[in-house]
Amino acid sequence: MIQQDKFGNQIYYSKFKILIETAKKLQELNYKESFKKQNLFFKKTGEGCMFADMRGTDEVPIWEDTDPLFYWLFNEDIPYWKQRRLIEEEIKIFIKRKCPFRVSFDVHDNPIFNFENYESGSFVDFEGGEFDWENGFCKKCQKDFQDEGSFCAECLKSNNIV
Ligand SMILES: [Zn+2]
């Protein structure tokens, strides 16, 4: 950890202490600190990489909001429904383990939000841990159908969609 943001500004110790506590929690969740970019934590998986960034941003200096910025980078072959599921699973772990995080203001512009039902009534609240989106589980019968869309083929066919 370094007592500076990514622009070289000094972080007051009262705030830095909070970052150190958050770093401990991140390590419990198997995040590692980058060697080259201190205060940037990441977790590599088979599908890509999750990031928890405490270096601050242009818009939000880290002393204004000490919560790490959560973002992701998936391998190109990972379909969006699966990306959504993996993000959802990860966020729910953060919440369960009381590890602070925030997401970017423009997170909804991310390509994972290009799904059929998003504009019309889906609800996603990262901080609240609510993910009413298309994650490959059927909204009717909960089958793990592993594809885009809200419903599995059987439910679509039998047309018993509520
Ligand atoms: Zn179904």
pLDDT tens over the chain, length 162 residues? 999 999 999 999 999 999 999 999 999 999 999 999 999 999 999 999 999 999 999 999 999 999 999 999 999 999 999 999 999 999 999 999 999 999 999 999 999 998 887 777 788 999 999 999 999 999 999 999 999 999 999 999 987 665
**Could you tell me the two tokens for 94?**
């953060």
Please give the distance, rounded to the nearest whole angstrom, from the Cα atom of residue 122 to the centre of ligand 1: 18
pTM to 2 decimals?
0.93
Tokens 């070289």 found at: 8
Of 93, 79, 92, residue with least CA distance to 145: 79
Please give the distance, rounded to the nearest whole angstrom, from the Cα atom of residue 134 to the centre of ligand 1: 13
Of 136, 123, 30, 28, residue with least CA distance to 80: 136
Please give the distance, rounded to the nearest whole angstrom, from the Cα atom of residue 140 to the centre of ligand 1: 5
* Contacts for 27 with CB less than 8 Å, ≥ 6 apart: 41
